[in-house]
Amino acid sequence: MESQVRGGTRWKRFAVVMVPSVAATAVIGVALAQGALAASFSVSGQSFKVTAKELNGNGFSQYGAIDAGTTLSGGSTAHPVAVSAFSSAHIQRMCQSVVTPNIPVLGSVTLKLTAGDSSKEEKQVYAENLYIDVEDLGADATFKNMEIGVAAGDLAGNGTSPGMKGGEEQANRNGFAQRATEAKLTDVKQTAWATTAGTFRLPGLHMGLSVGSGPDHECY
C-alpha cells in the first residue's frame, strides 16, 4: 500500500501532520479536549524551524501529544504537537534555525545549523530513534504500507514502527495514531518544539550566528 500527500499543513486546524484523512483531526481534537494527551518533556520558550531537501525514513509512526514548557518571560505554557517518529532516517541538506529576540543592543539573533549537503547517503544526516514534536509542516510525502487509526499504544506492534516516547504510553495508549514501514518526504519545511534521537550523525556540520531574523537569516 502506498499513500501520497502533497502541500502544506496548518496547525490552526490541529491536523495530524501528513494524514490523508479529515477524521484524524476530529479524533485528535477530542483527545486534546479530554486532557488525554501526555506532555513529552519540558520545552524551551522558543520553537525552531527545520528544512530538508529530502528525508528517507524507515519505520514511521505518528501520534498527538502536549509539550509542556515555559515562555521566554518565565511563565508556564503548553503546545499541542504531532509527534513524528522514525526508527531510522537519512536527511539530505538539513537546516535548523532558532531566533532569540530582544537581545539588548543587538535585537534579534539567529542561530543557524546546516549539515548533510550531499546526494550520497553516507554523507547525509543520519538519525536513529528520531522523534520530532511538530507544530506545523509542509512537504511532499510518500508512505509505504500505511495504517491509519492505530491505537497509539500499539504503534510498535508491526515490529517496524517505533512506539511512543517513554512516559507517554499510559496517558494516551488508546489515542489515534498512524504508522508506515517507510516514509519519504521532500521539500520539507516545518516548525517544531523538540527533537530527540538515540543517534544523530551530522556530516559537514556548520553552525553560525547572525544579527537579525527572517528568510535572510533563518532556514526559511
Is 0.85 topped by the overall pTM? no
Q: Which amino acid is at 83?
A: V
Q: Contact at 8 Å (CB) between 48 and 98?
A: yes
What average pLDDT does the structure give for the chain? 83
Cα angle value 97/180/142 (rounded, 5°): 65
Q: Is 208 exposed, middle or buried (0-12, 13-18, 19+ CB in 10 A)?
A: exposed
Quote the pLDDT of residue 125: 97
Over residues 60-106, the pLDDT tens digits come to 999 988 888 888 888 888 888 999 999 999 999 999 999 999 999 99
Set of cell numbers at residue 151: 491505537
Question: What is the rounded distance in angstroms from the CA atom of residue 64 to the CA atom of residue 130?
Answer: 16
Task: Give the per-residue pLDDT at 67.
Answer: 86
What percentage of the chain has pLDDT greater than the value 70? 79
Q: Give DSSP secondary structure letters for 168-216.
A: -HHHHTTSEEEEEEEEEEEEEEEEEEEEE-SEEE-TT-EEEEEE--STT
In this prediction, residues 18-35 reach a mean pLDDT of: 38
